[in-house]
Amino acid sequence: MLTRLSRPRALALCALPVLALLGTAALAPLPFTLARPGMTADVLGKEDGRPVITVTGAETRPTEGQLRMTTILATGPKADVRIGALIDGWFRTDRAVMPRDSVYPSRGSEKEIEQHNLDDMKQSQNVAVDAALNYLDREPGSVEVAVDLGDVGGPSAGLFLSLGIIDKLDGDGSGGDLTGGRTVAGTGTITADGKVGPVGGVSMKTQAAHRDGASVFLVPKAECGQAEAERPTGLRLIPVTTLGGAVDSLKALEKGGKVPSC
């Protein structure tokens, strides 16, 4: 025998599975990472008392201004991120909610993931040297370049390491600095032939750059929208797709020429 339910009772019964699902989601860890602005480092200067870039086998020039690579500080790859924290992160401008796989693309233990990121940084350093020497038309191996960024992992400092090497060896090519004496920050991967690639957490990196005194931020062009969405007041965004384009933009900025914008 079937019994007809009243509308309120029917709605209440239908809501039970939804409430159960929400309750489970509130208690279960979710595949997201919470990020916030991390440290920045001037690749033209020192980090923990040691030069970030050391060139041997060629004369280097003194530099003015700063070239600051930027980072994010994210919850660990095995951290339990729950729905309450995600909701809080979505409504804060100093936090970003990111898919965990976009921050930690490798699988394995925390130690294995950390080593993977350090290996990525080491590979990025080698490629950054090649990109800079290619830009300057110098033969690979014509100079030795050592890079020391401590335990910073990942490939996103590649562009700025290349710019730092170019500034130390050649400046703007006319006796001046690439920075024009400014504090320039940014992010981006690099390939040996000078292509700039996108990275994660750009909106958090712009905030880190502004916090540490940058007035200009070089951003991979594909991520202009994300950078613009949370751009701090007074921070100028310059989109880049190649190492050569980044150098040209910095030169134009100093000379009052036309500079691309997001």
pLDDT tens digits, 88-134: 666 677 877 777 776 676 666 767 666 766 677 778 899 999 999 99
pTM above threshold 0.85: no
**Catalytic: which of 124, 162, 205, 249?**
205
pLDDT of 27 higher than 90:
no
Among 116, 144, 151, smallest CA distance to 130 is for 144
Q: Is 156 a catalytic residue?
A: yes
**Catalytic: which of 156, 162, 203, 249?**
156
Q: Where are the alpha helices (DSSP H) in 59-187?
A: 83-90, 100-103, 110-135, 158-169
CA–CA separation, 72 and 38 (whole Å): 4
The tens digit of pLDDT for each residue in 141-168 reads: 889 999 998 878 778 899 999 999 999 9
Both tokens of 93, joined, read 């401008």
Share of the chain above pLDDT 70, in %: 79
Asked if residue 185 lies in contact with residue 214, where contact means CB atoms within 8 angstroms, the answer is yes
Asked if residue 219 lies in contact with residue 212, where contact means CB atoms within 8 angstroms, the answer is no
Better-scored residue on pLDDT, 92 or 5:
92
Low-confidence winner among 80-84, 146-150, 152-156, 202-206 (lowest mean pLDDT): 80-84
Residue carrying the six token digits 């292509």: 195
CA–CA separation, 224 and 101 (whole Å): 21
pLDDT of 81 higher than 80:
no
Both tokens of 73, joined, read 């500080």
Q: Is 221 a catalytic residue?
A: no
| Rounded average pLDDT over 194-218 | 96
Both tokens of 248, joined, read 């040209």
pLDDT of 3 higher than 50:
no
